[in-house]
Amino acid sequence: MLSGRLVASLVSMAGRVCLSRGSAGAGTVGPVEAAIRAKLEQALSPEVLELRNESGGHAVPPGSETHFRVAVVSSRFEGLSPLQRHRLVHDALSEELAGPVHALAIQARTPAQWRENPQLDTSPPCLGGNKKTRGTP
């Protein structure tokens, strides 16, 4: 369970990571984000799907769609290990992951698990990556 203090530190950390800059400009949804959402909805029929473009917090150009965080709540995950759940998500997004998406943070929960903690986590701050090969996953 997240304590109040932890939530506060997560929120301030999110501010430092500047997640709000991650979207493809002024709150619009870019094509990659739209594709991710559509494919996950088709593959997993989620009860809840929260998707955040976190590219703005990483060493990539503005407007990028390279780093995402997703929370998927689906009864399809019942009885599956975390690894199996993540593989289901990867399978649905194989094209994006072979293409523009460099990072995908996944929270894959059953409906009961989500009700216990209905929150999209925050990713750790970028540590720069390898700027020599910027743009390579």
Partner 1 sequence: MRASGRRTWQPRAEASPQVVNRGSGVEGSGEQAGMSGSLGRAAAALLRWGRGAGGGGLRGPGVWAARSSSGGCSAEQLDALVKKDKVVVFLKGTPEQPQCGFSNAVVQILRLHGVRDYAAYNVLDDPELRQGIKDYSNWPTIPQVFLNGEFVGGCDILLQMHQNGDLVEELKKLGIRSILLDEKKDQDSK
Stretches 18-26, 32-40, 72-80, 89-97: which one binds partner 1 (CB under 8 A)? 89-97
Binding mask 64-83 for partner 1 (x = CB under 8 A): ------------------xx
The verdict on 133 binding partner 1 (CB under 8 A) reads: yes
Nearer to partner 1, 27 or 116 (CB): 116
Nearer to partner 1, 20 or 28 (CB): 20
Q: What is the DSSP string of 64-132?
A: ---EEEEEEE-GGGTT--HHHHHHHHHHHTHHHHHTT--EEEEEEE-HHHHHH------PPPP----GG
Nearer to partner 1, 61 or 128 (CB): 128
Q: Do 42 and 117 form a contact (C-beta atoms < 8 A)?
A: no
**What is the size of the binding site for partner 1 (CB under 8 A)?**
33
User: What's the rounded Cα separation, in Å, for the pair 33 and 9?
Assistant: 27
User: What's the rounded Cα separation, in Å, for the pair 104 and 34?
Assistant: 15
Binding-site ranges for partner 1 (CB under 8 A): 1-3, 5-6, 9-10, 13, 82-83, 86-87, 90, 94, 97-98, 102-107, 122-130, 133, 137
